[in-house]
Structure 1
Amino acid sequence: MKLTRKLVLAKAKASDLESVKKLNCWGCNLTDISIFSQMPNIEVLTLSVNNITSLSPLAGCLSLSELYLRRNMIPSLSELRCLCPLTRLRVLWLAENPCCGSDPSKYRLTVLRCLPRLHKLDNQVVTEDEVALALMEGEEVSTPPGSIQNQLSNNGPTDAETENDALSYNMEETNKIREELGMKPLSREKFSSLSSPTLERQTMRKTHILDAVLLLLRDLDEDELHIVHTAAQNRLHTFTLDSGDGQRPSAQRTTDIQH
C-alpha cells in the first residue's frame, strides 16, 4: 500500500504536507513511503507494523527527532545510512526487523556507530559508554546503492553538501565539548576535505573517537584526570620523537591540551 497525500492529511488533520510535524501510521500495511520526500518538517513519525523495506524517502526529513519502525521488513542495516543526514534524530525504534539479526549486542553497536547522536534505541536509553564503545568496535555500514543520492537530489541538497553539513555538525559538537572542558577549538582544517572517501572515513573515525574521549572525561575524578594527563604527556613526547623537528615542542602541545 502506498502512503498518499490524501491519507497523510486526513491522519494529521492538516491542510498541507509541509505543516505536518507528527504522524502516526501504525499498522497501515504500508510498502511505499515516498511521500516523505515532500514532508521536510516532520518531527515525530510512527511507521511501526508495516511492510517498509527502504528508508531512502526519509533522507530529506531533516527535522525528524523520533522515528518508530518496529516490525517492518527492513532487510539491511545499510538502510541506516539514509538516516545519517538527520542530525536531530534522537529516538529510533528498529527492533523486530530482518536487519536486526540474531546478535543483539552486535546490532546495537552497529546502529550506534552509524547514528551516535541517538538518546534512545529500541526503547532503551543510550549511554555515553555505549556510544564510545560503538564508535570503536561497532561495524561500519555500507551505503545502499543510489538511495541517499537519489533522494537528496530530489529534495535539493547534494551528497557533498549533506556530508559537509554533517561534518560541520560534528565539528560544532566537538568544539562545544572542548569549550566546556576549557580546551581550544579545532579548526575546520583538522577535519576531512571530503575529497577522498578513504580519508573521510579515517578522519570521521578519529573525530568520533575524540568525541567519545571528551565525553568520558566528564566522568573522571581528579586522580583519574591526572592519570589521563600523564598518559597524554607520554604520548605527546613519543609523537615528538617520531615526528622530528617539524612539530612544536612537546611542552607547548601539552599546554594546549591543559587549556
Structure 2
Amino acid sequence: MKLSRKLVLAKAKASDLDSVKKLNCWGCNLTDISIFTLMSNIEVLTLSVNSITSLAPLASCLNLCELYLRRNMISSLSELSHLRLLGRLKVLWLAENPCCGTDPNKYRLTVLRCLPRLQKLDNQVVTEEEVALALTQGEEVTTPTDPVQNQLSTNGQPDTETENDPLEYSMDETNKIREQLGMRPLPRDKFPSLSSPSTRENRLLTRKSHTLDAILLLLKDLDEDELHVVHTATQNRLQMFTLNSEMMKNSLQTKRTVDIED
C-alpha cells in the first residue's frame, strides 16, 4: 500500500503536508512511503508494523527527531545511511526488522556507528561509552546500491566506480571546503583530475584528502557533548595505532633476534 497525501492529511488532521509535524501510521500495511520526500517538517513519525523495505524517502525529513520503525521489512542496515544527514534525529526504534540479525550487540554498535547522535535506540538509552565503542568496533554502514547506478555505461561496460560516490568531489569543490576552514587551497598538480585516468593509489590519496576536509568542516556543527564523543573515539583510534605499531616493532625485533641466533 502506498501512503498517499490524502491519507496523511486525514490522519494528521491537517490541510497541507508542510504543517504536519507528527504522524502515526502504525499497522497500515505500508510498502511505499515516497510521500515523505515532500514532508521536510515532520518531527515525530511512527511507521511500526508495516512492510517498509527502504528508508530512502526519509532522507528529506531534516527536522525528524523521533522515528519508530519496529516490525517492518528492512533487510539491511545499509538503509540507515539515508538517515545520516538527519542531525536532529535522537530517537530510533528499529527492533524486529530482518536487518537486526541474531547478534544484538553487533547490531547496536553498528547502528550507533552510523548514527552516533542517537540518544535512545530501541527504547534503550544510549551512553557516551557505547558511542565511543561503536565508533571503533561497530561495522561501517555503506550506502545501498541504487539500481540506476548499476546500469551499463555508454560504452556498454559496467562502471567500475559509481559516479555518485560522495567522496568524489572535484578539485574546485575541495578547495571551497578548505577556504571555509581557512586552509590553503590544494595545488592542482598535487592530485590528478578525477575526470582523467588515474592510478588506484592516487585516487586513494585524493579521497583521504577529501575525507579530512569534510570531517574538519563537520566539526564546526557539533556541540560540546558531540565533540567529546569524537574526542574519545579519536583517542581510542590512536591507542589502536600505537598498540599495532608496538606489536609490529616487537615482532620485527624478535625476528632479528631469531635470525642472529640462526
Specify the TM-score bucket, using the shorter chain as the normaliser.
0.5 to 0.7
How far off is 1:3 after superposition? 0.2
AA aligned to 2:31 is: T
Task: Report the aligned-residue RMSD.
Answer: 3.5
- Aligned position for 2:27: 27
Contact 1:109 / 1:137 at 8 angstroms: preserved in 2? Answer: yes
Q: Which runs of 5+ in 1 are unaligned?
A: 150-157, 164-186, 217-227, 236-259
AA aligned to 2:13 is: K
AA aligned to 2:37 is: S
Number of residue-to-residue matches in the alignment: 184
- Give distance in 2, aligned partners of 1:62 and 1:93: 18
- Aligned position for 2:10: 10
| Change beyond 3 A, Cα 1:27–1:36 | same
- Aligned position for 2:59: 59
- Give distance in 1, aligned partners of 2:144 and 2:15: 34
| Change beyond 3 A, Cα 1:52–1:198 | farther
1:99-153 deviations in Å (ceiling 9; x for gaps):
0001000000000000000000000000000000001111101101239x9xxxx
| Change beyond 3 A, Cα 1:140–1:12 | same
How far off is 1:84 after superposition? 0.4
How far off is 1:214 after superposition? 3.8
Matched, 1:188 2:205: no
- Aligned position for 2:96: 96
Secondary structure at the counterpart of residue 74 of structure 1 = coil
| Change beyond 3 A, Cα 1:117–1:200 | farther
| Change beyond 3 A, Cα 1:86–1:210 | closer
- Give distance in 2, aligned partners of 1:12 and 1:4: 12
- Give distance in 2, aligned partners of 1:210 and 1:51: 37
| Change beyond 3 A, Cα 1:24–1:213 | closer
How far off is 1:213 after superposition? 5.8
1:27-73 deviations in Å (ceiling 9; x for gaps):
00000000000100000000000000000000010000000000000
Secondary structure at the counterpart of residue 73 of structure 2 = coil
Kindly report which structure 2 residues correspond to 1:194-205, keeping only aligned pairs within 5 A, or say none: 196-200=206-210
TM-score with structure 2 setting the length:
0.62
State which of 203, 206, 212 in structure 1 corresponds to 2:229.
Answer: 212
- Give distance in 1, aligned partners of 2:45 and 2:165: 24
Matched, 1:49 2:42: no
Q: Which runs of 5+ in 2 are unaligned?
A: 150-163, 170-179, 187-193, 195-205, 243-262
AA aligned to 2:138 is: G
Percentage identity across aligned positions? 68
Task: Write out the 4+ residue segments of structure 1 that deviate beyond 2 Å after TM superposition.
Answer: 187-190, 195-216
Name whichever structure is richer in helix by fraction: 1
| Change beyond 3 A, Cα 1:68–1:140 | same
- Give distance in 2, aligned partners of 1:23 and 1:31: 16
| Change beyond 3 A, Cα 1:22–1:65 | same
AA aligned to 1:212 is: V
- Give distance in 2, aligned partners of 1:107 and 1:26: 24
| Change beyond 3 A, Cα 1:159–1:41 | farther
- Give distance in 1, aligned partners of 2:228 and 2:79: 24
Contact 1:65 / 1:90 at 8 angstroms: preserved in 2? Answer: yes
AA aligned to 1:116 is: P
- Give distance in 1, aligned partners of 2:38 and 2:106: 34
TM-score with structure 1 setting the length:
0.62
- Aligned position for 2:125: 125
- Aligned position for 1:72: 72
- Give distance in 2, aligned partners of 1:87 and 1:159: 21
Q: Which has the higher contact order (CA 8 A, sep 6+)?
A: 1
